[in-house]
Structure 1
Amino acid sequence: MTSTDVLISQLIHIAGGAVRQGLVLGSGGNLSARLEDGTIAVTGKGTWLDTLQPEQFAILDLDGNQVGGAVPSSEWKLHTELYKARPDANAIVHIHPQFVLLMTALGHKIRFITQDHAFYVGSYGYTKYYTNGSDELALTAADQLRDGSHDVVVLGNHGIAVVGDSVESAYRKALNMEEAAKLTYHALLLGDQDTVFPEEELRKLHHS
């Protein structure tokens, strides 16, 4: 099995998990990984993430030129621009988590209350709504992640895009982002407006 085969297998596994977790429905969402030669494997157009097959991935260079595989997702520009903005990123998960989208649409800031939420995510960028597949969406999302202060960007009324140094790390951040949104939602129902994980404890975690 080649390194490309391994990465595509990981993407298929994570994609199925995202559907089972309720983080995306139908043919929504798309994932990708950076390959050894600098190209990327991205899920194909119209694919359902819980029934992906290896032949349903497109292979693109970072200028969007197709060098193999299936027709790419309509969101391919989002992936190529994020990889160009973040040379350290080896995987991207783009899904549609409901609590993240609800909270941000209603103007509530998502808070990181638990250790894992603060450590694995800690902050996020935001763009207003842009049409899926558009240059505006891809470029504004890339600008939010470019300096490395965030690994997650919320795409207003649409979804999130998450970068990681591996497929697993990108998905872990996506899961923690949605769980943080759920805890923020429940905290607000209980009347809490400001509880977050203690900053001094977070600094200790980062230096441990």
Structure 2
Amino acid sequence: MSKKINLEHPRDQITTIISRIYKRGMTTTSGGNISIIDDNGNIWVTPSAIDKGSLRASDIICVQKDGTVIGKHKPSSEFPFHKAIYEARPDIKSVIHAHPPALVSFSIVRQIPNTNIISQAKHICGPIGYAKYRLPGSEDLGDVIADEFKKGYKAIIMENHGTVLGGSDLTDAFERFEALEFCASTILYGSQIGTPKYLTDEQIEEFEAQATGVLPEMESVHYPSDEVEKRLEICKIVQRSCQQGLMISSYGTVSMRWNKNDFLITPTGSNRWDLNIHDIVQIKDGKREADKTPSRAAWIHQEIYNRNPDVNSIIMTQSPYLMAFGVTGEYLNVRTIPESWIFLQDINVVKYGDHFRKNNNSTIVDNCATALIIENDSVIITGDKLLQTFDYLEVAEFSAKSIVLGNSLGQMVPINDDQVEDLRKKFLS
């Protein structure tokens, strides 16, 4: 599994993250740049005019504190604004600049995405700055961006250009980058089918105030082979979800029933891309593995397993097209193609806050549906085998995407009642 990238050399960290950004379609072969400033004040940065889809560690440039350039290429043409950010903000240790499509959409209409569209983004992204257009690669561009960072921002929309984000390390910057692009995408897709609705600051604070790690700790823990096998399976599905844009660094919970109502679940506060089997938390007899904090949604997973003996795996995540329905309240009619209805049937929506522990909402945990959307928060997918549950997530996201994209062509014509009844008789009876 992936190692914790912050323990790697800056060259390797940069190539890992630029590869993720490129493969997710959030930058082009020639676009975007990443840098890290080390403890000696040396800046490691992506090279100019080198294919972002095949960068190697040996391609990364080091610009030393005295200005000496070490490497076989020229540093990125945008190096001046990276340097300006580090000079303006000593707390910033890494910078990402790219041209992800949704955030570019906001930059060309001169708008800033409202991160109150989902629960956690406000705290991950912080307030968003706005830098006026200046010539790319110029000192002027460095000045206007540095001025925004001096105001305390860590995320900036660059007018007619893209976005630039800083972080305490590269993982922190990438989490902010991913979350901001996710917000922008969700708002865009939601706007194609309805009117996005936003959370109040009070609702978000209530979400953040929920207790984590409320389960008591186990005194001892055992790791039999079948348990370890499930840990590995969870990590593989989380990695796959991240690669396919069905999960982001800062949000996504996966669990598997292990023995009776005992289960394994992903932790809270861990970057999903870098998850490994040691991060997974065992929940046994209502107690958690010592020195680990399970997802704050662990109680939902526990109740689903307690009350639904046929459910053996759960994925709780944010994917952009499903969340377009989650932020607008529009009905997601999965009668698009036979496979969608057979796997998912109807997808209901519950109100934001119903997933808070104090509410213990029966719509979520009793006779739980294969797929359920929580407004402005997430989608919950349940199933037997974890791969099957992941398949349901993919089918749900593809169905949502087809409806969002098809909306510009005309009104959706779903499979009719007679056709649904034929499907019910053939596949579900």
- TM-score, with structure 2 as normaliser: 0.44
Distance 1:206 1:57, change over 3 A: farther
Q: For structure 1, which segment, 133-142 or 96-105, has the greater mean C-alpha deviation from structure 2 after superposition?
A: 96-105
State the 1:191 CA deviation: 4.0
- 4+ residue segments displaced more than 4 Å: none
Alpha-carbon contact 1:121-1:173 (below 8 Å) kept = yes
Cα displacement string for residues 52-100 of structure 1 (whole angstroms, at most 9, x for unaligned residues) = 122222222467x134223211111010001111101111111101111
Partner in structure 2 of residue 182 of structure 1: 185
**CA RMSD, Structure 1 to Structure 2 (Å):** 2.2
Structure 1: distance between partners of 2:209 and 2:69: 40
Question: In the TM superposition, what is the alpha-carbon distance from 1:206 to its structure 2 partner?
Answer: 7.8
Tell me which residue corresponds to 2:202.
200
Q: Please state if 1:12 is matched with 2:46.
A: no
Give secondary structure in 2 for the equivalent of 1:162. Answer: strand
Report how many aligned residue pairs link the two structures: 203
Q: Which residue type is aligned with residue 16 of structure 1?
A: S
Deviations 1:25-53 (A, max 9, x none): 11111100011211110111112222112
2:55 is equivalent to residue 52 of structure 1:
yes
**AA partner of residue 119 (structure 1):** H
The yes-or-no answer on 1:135 pairing with 2:139 is yes
Question: Structure 1 residues 53-62 or 9-18, which shifts more?
Answer: 53-62
Q: Give the residue type in structure 2 aligned to 1:200.
A: E
TM-score for both structures, normalised by structure 1: 0.88
Q: Which of 55, 65, 68 does residue 66 from structure 1 map onto?
A: 68
The amino acid across from 2:70 in the alignment is G
Q: Name the structure 1 match of 2:121.
A: 117
Structure 1 gap segments, 5+ residues each? none
Give the counterpart letter for 1:196 in structure 2.
Y
Distance in 2 separating the partners of 1:90 and 1:99: 25
Q: Which secondary structure state, in structure 2, belongs to the residue aligned with residue 133 of structure 1?
A: coil
Indicate conservation of the 8 Å contact 2:35/2:94, yes or no: yes
Larger Rg: 2
2:102 to 99, 102, 105: 99
SS of residue in 2 equivalent to 1:18: helix
Q: What is the rounded CA distance, in whole Å, between the counterparts of 2:150 and 2:118 in structure 1? A: 26
Q: Which residue does the alignment assign to 1:81?
A: 84
Report % sequence identity.
25
**Residue in structure 2 matched with residue 29 of structure 1 by the alignment:** 32
> Which deviates further from its counterpart, 198-207 or 76-85?
198-207
Looking at both structures, which has the greater relative contact order when contacts are Cα pairs under 8 Å and sequence separation is at least 6? Answer: 1
